Amino acid sequence: MSSDHSTLSYEKSRNIDGQPTRGTHKVKYHPSAEWDFQLDSEHLPIDLSLILPHYRARAQPIEHRMAMLAESQSSPVKLKVCRNSPRTRFYLKVQGGASDVTLWLPSDFKGHIYHTGKATFSAGFINRILRRARVNEPDGEERYDEDDVVVITRGRITFKMWDVQTCSPENTHKESLKRIFGCSWKAPETAIDWDCLLKD
Give pLDDT, residue 41: 85
Q: Looking at 16-20, 23-27, 74-78, 133-137, which range is the least confident one?
A: 16-20
CA distance 185 to 150: 23
Average pLDDT over residues 31-45: 90
Q: Looking at 15-29, 35-49, 100-114, which range is the least confident one?
A: 15-29
pTM of the model: 0.80
Average pLDDT over residues 181-195: 54
pLDDT digits (tens, 9 = 90+) for 78-132: 999 999 877 899 999 999 889 999 999 999 999 999 999 889 999 999 999 999 9
Is 1's pLDDT higher than 60? no
Q: In the predicted model, what is the mean pLDDT of the chain?
A: 82
Give pLDDT, residue 131: 92
Q: How many CB atoms lie within 10 A of CB 35?
A: 15
The alpha-helical segments, DSSP class H, found in 14-66 are none
Q: Which DSSP string do the residues of 147-180 spell out, in sequence order?
A: EEEEEE-SS-EEEEEEETTTTEE--HHHHHHHHH
Domains identified in the chain, total number: 1
Q: What is the DSSP-derived secondary structure letter of residue 84?
A: S
Instruction: Identify the band that residue 180 occupies on the pLDDT scale cut at 50, 70 and 90.
Output: confident
Give pLDDT, residue 198: 59
Which one, of 121, 84, 102, 104, lies nearest residue 169 by Cα?
104
Is 7's pLDDT higher than 50? no
CA distance 195 to 199: 9
By residue range, what is the domain housing residue 147?
2-197
